[in-house]
Amino acid sequence: MAGALIIIAGLGKADFAWLDALRRLHYPPERNRVPAHLTLFRSLPPSAEPEVRRSLSRAACAPAPDAFVSGVMDLDGGVALKVASLGLQDIHDDLASQFHGLLSAQDLGRWTAHVTIQNKVEPGEARKLLKQLQSNFEPRTIRIAGLQLVRYLDGQWEPLASYAFR
């Protein structure tokens, strides 16, 4: 059976390397099965793959949206870095309207752009990392290179397609 489709924002190489290193450092290794990522949609039906591919191809015809890491987010049992990007929000909203009727309950909810660097840890451990990251936090511009389509397969991701911004 084919797994759900996931859409992520492709990060620039240097920004991906930085965020993935943070994730590898702080995410429980036994649960860290995918690299650092910025998810736009978590669960689209596999049957919609042709439509999703067409939509992502059209969306990537635009210039890359400006984006920056704007803060540290408390996930209760983890920590994420919040990403601010009006352009990426517009892309998300446009895709959400195109995927009307295909979105899961989770994808219908409010979207907050972020990259999770720690999750599924004891609250005390998460609070410690949250305070550490907040104490020396500085906003940082990041590059959004494109959109990526992956398939969820038993906790892993199968890359399907990448769409670079113009």
**Average confidence score pLDDT of the chain:** 96
> Does the pLDDT value for residue 98 go beyond 70?
yes
Percent of the residues in the chain that have a pLDDT greater than 70, as a whole number: 99
Q: What is the pLDDT of residue 2?
A: 78
**155 band by pLDDT with thresholds 50, 70 and 90:** confident
| Structure tokens that stand for 43 in this block | 């669960």
CB 60 within 8 A of CB 40: no
Q: What is the pLDDT of residue 120?
A: 93
- Dmax over CA atoms of the chain, in Å, equals 46
Q: What is the pLDDT of residue 51?
A: 98
Burial class (CB within 10 angstroms; exposed 0-12, middle 13-18, buried 19+) of 154:
exposed
Instruction: Write down all domains in the chain, each with its CATH number in brackets.
Output: 5-164 (3.90.1140.10)
Residue entry with tokens 């991906």:
16
Q: What is the pLDDT of residue 52?
A: 98
pLDDT, tens digit, 9 for 90 and up, residues 31-76: 999 999 999 999 999 999 999 999 999 999 999 999 999 999 999 9
Q: Which residues contact 3 (CB under 8 A, 6 or more apart)?
A: 46, 151, 152, 153, 154, 158
**134 band by pLDDT with thresholds 50, 70 and 90:** very high
Nearest-5° Cα angle at 37, 103 to 1: 50
**154 band by pLDDT with thresholds 50, 70 and 90:** confident
